[in-house]
Amino acid sequence: MSAIDDGNNGMTEECEECRRETPHEVSVQILTESAARKNAEYSREPYRVSECRVCSARTVLRMNDA
């Protein structure tokens, strides 16, 4: 998964849905992994979230596993 900054459109990445390199919105989000409310604040992890601007396909990757 490599990302390229094309200057005008932001980040471009290979999109599995479009089957070509397209502009993407890329962010890092802290997501809660536990469904249980008790101790949920201790189950938060950083995730890289990438959304294709063409087809809206979304990829979420846990950063500790990258």
Structural domain including 45 reads: 4-65
Q: How confident is the model at residue 8 (pLDDT cuts 50, 70, 90)?
A: low
Cα end-to-end span (Å), the chain: 10
Report d(CA 27, CA 19) in Å as an integer. Answer: 21
Q: CA 26 from chain center: how many Å?
A: 6
How much of the chain is helix, strand and coil, in % rounded to 5?
10, 50, 40
Q: Give residue-wise pLDDT tens across range 12-55.
A: 999 999 999 999 999 999 998 877 777 777 788 999 999 999 99
Neighbouring C-beta atoms of residue 61, cutoff 10 Å: 13
